[in-house]
Structure 1
Amino acid sequence: MSISKEQIAASYPIPTYRYRVTVGNDEMAFSAVSGLELGFETMEYKDGLGNWFQMPGQAAALNISLKRGIFLGQSQLYDWISSISLNQVEKKDISISLTNESGSELLVTWNIIDAFPTKLTAPSFDASSNEVAIEELCLLALRMTVQFH
């Protein structure tokens, strides 16, 4: 009995190499996205009778990292972080979506709400290397939702 393409797509995990990233209203290409971690701080309480209670507290902040190659004339990430003035910055919503093989259908989307940049790292320079120049933008956000399409 042979397995069809549809059966494989339904029973195998989704690969991570085909995805889309939207920052605000702009769709951008990134070579790597990391830090999509949903977690909660924990609270502990010990009473005088020897009982020990642990419970979830506030949601932990999200520390997200976006990496991409540097292209001539594309300074959106630098423009965003350099716009910080007097502790004010434009917060943006970000969505990261896994897609099917052709990129035409969204499968799972992580929506990041009110993200703002905290660090922009320039590439490492090495005259003996022929690697692509990669910049990294670190973001902080307070909330994330996941949507399964």
Structure 2
Amino acid sequence: MNQQTQYTITELAREFEVTPRAIRFYEDQGLLAPTREGSSGLRRVYSPRDRTRLKLTLRGKRLGFTLSEIRVLLDLYDSPTGTVSQLHAFLDTIAAHRKVLEQQLEDLNATLAELDQYEQQGRALLSASAEKRARKSKAA
């Protein structure tokens, strides 16, 4: 893609395969800050910074981060890099997210184990029922 200095909402929506409504939602959440053009100021104009923030927002969503976590990470991304406090904040956000994902994984594994148990019980009941029918038909 060429290096534009401005993007329309339609261009970004098409590029990232999201709806303009989703982009406006991210704007409402403070994740994007387009400038306004036109006589009434209704036309949104997105900068390369907004494009990058949208890309990182969508990546964060795919990774399961909440919008507030994404906002923290984006704010760190926008800040001058290299400060110890920023790196600690970044690592704290990732650690908190990792903890949530590990708990979700534990919950999913427990649920899968329960489902396996119920499936085995159901198959055993079907098998016992089939054997009972087979005995009845032999006896008749």
TM-score for both structures, normalised by structure 2: 0.21
TM-score for both structures, normalised by structure 1: 0.20
Rg larger in 1 or in 2? 2
Q: Say which structure is richer in strand.
A: 1
Q: Say which structure is richer in helix.
A: 2
Using CA pairs below 8 Å that are at least 6 residues apart, which structure has the higher relative contact order? 1
